[in-house]
Amino acid sequence: MSKEVIVVHNSGLGNRFRVLAGILALQKRHPLFNIRMLWTQHSHCGAPIEAVLDVDSLPQGNLEITNVVNDPDQQFFSTLEDNGGNPLVVVMPHTEFIDVSWFSDVDTMLIFDYVWKPIPGTDIYDMLPEYVEMLKTFRWNAYVQKEVDDYLEKYDLSQCQGVHVRRGDTVPTTCQQHFKCIDTWQFHEALQDNARPIFLATEDIDILNEFEEQYPYRIFNYECRSFDRRSPRAIQDAMVQMLLLSKCHGILGGKSSFSEISARLGDISKQDLIPRKRE
């Protein structure tokens, strides 16, 4: 029997691709599922899906994608009302972003279970192979792909140390909320014995200035048109940075789906910094 599956997207760019790839892996496993995905545009990601992804390249199947601007509550409710009693599953990337009481009469699940698997004997999770396989089939928006190709014609990043510093890693109001403040001294400490050129991906001009001062003549970066994540330009620029990170020798960063996806796309290692106090 078919199920109606609603995918709720209201997180940052990295998590959106994590969820999308997980959903496509889920659909491959359960081809009778009818999937309706709501791609919300808000302060974390102000661009429609077409701004970063070639939607026509996605596997053909029972998948409908709708861009939703601002508050998608009405879309959620109308979708539930129009369901007509068909068994429904609502897939949520992060429960902290969603009021689960909206879906009290339907089944809910976390896409986490379709993306990650525990590594026995540890508290570490690894990505399921089918998720990684699906992620690598994505084709990107034409502008994004051209920016990546043009940059790589000028610079060989294969010997560079990729570094990803999110604004949320260092801005107190944001990182305290997420319990993962990572001061830039931790990045500098981790890089002190690393002589490789550095490709820096960041959405914070202050971080860029600090690294350029700390590592003169060693820093590569992609010149972003905007750092305002509400802007489609900024989201496209972030997508370019994500793909360029995947071309580096390895990645250093905080615990982030953004740089984790870069590492998986490039089959390269990623070192996660753990927030700690300076001794």
Beta-ladder partners of 253: 164, 272
Burial bucket for residue 173 (CB in 10 Å: 0-12, 13-18, 19+): exposed
pLDDT in tens, the chain (279 residues): 566 677 766 677 887 887 787 777 777 777 777 777 778 787 778 889 999 999 988 876 777 887 877 655 555 545 555 555 454 555 554 444 344 444 444 444 444 444 455 545 544 445 567 778 888 888 999 999 999 999 999 999 999 999 999 865 655 544 444 445 678 888 998 998 899 999 999 988 889 999 999 998 899 999 988 888 888 899 999 999 999 999 999 999 988 888 989 998 999 999 988 877 766
Decide the pairing of beta strands 198-202 and 250-253: unpaired
**Which amino acid is located at 165 in the chain?**
V
Q: Which residues contact 89 (CB under 8 A, 6 or more apart)?
A: 3, 4, 5, 6, 33, 106, 107, 108, 109
Distance CA 253, CA 259 (A): 7
Q: Computed from CA positions of residues 245, 249, 252, 257, in that sequence, does the dihedral angle turn out positive or negative?
A: positive
The reported pLDDT for the residue numbered 223 is 92
- Check residue 100 and give its pLDDT: 42
* Cα separations in angstroms, 223 against 147, 199, 209, 226, 233: 11, 12, 12, 9, 12
Phi, psi torsion values for 217, nearest 5 degrees: 70, 0
- 131: three-class secondary structure by DSSP: helix
Six-digit token pair at 98? 């969603």
Residues sharing a CB contact under 8 Å with residue 93, sequence separation 6 or more, in sequence order: 8, 9, 11, 15, 16, 18, 19, 110, 111, 112
The one-letter amino acid at 225:
R
Pairing of strands 125-127, 4-9: unpaired
> Do the domains at 4-135 and 142-272 have one common CATH topology?
yes
Supply the pLDDT for residue 79: 53
CATH fold for the domain made of 4-135: Rossmann fold (3.40.50)
The CATH class of 142-272 is alpha beta
Question: How many whole angstroms separate alpha carbon 214 and alpha carbon 27?
Answer: 47
Pairing of β 34-41 and β 4-9 = parallel
Give the whole-angstrom CA distance, residue 268 versus residue 243.
12
Domain boundaries of the chain, sorted by first residue: 4-135, 142-272
Q: Looking at residue 141, what is its pLDDT?
A: 96
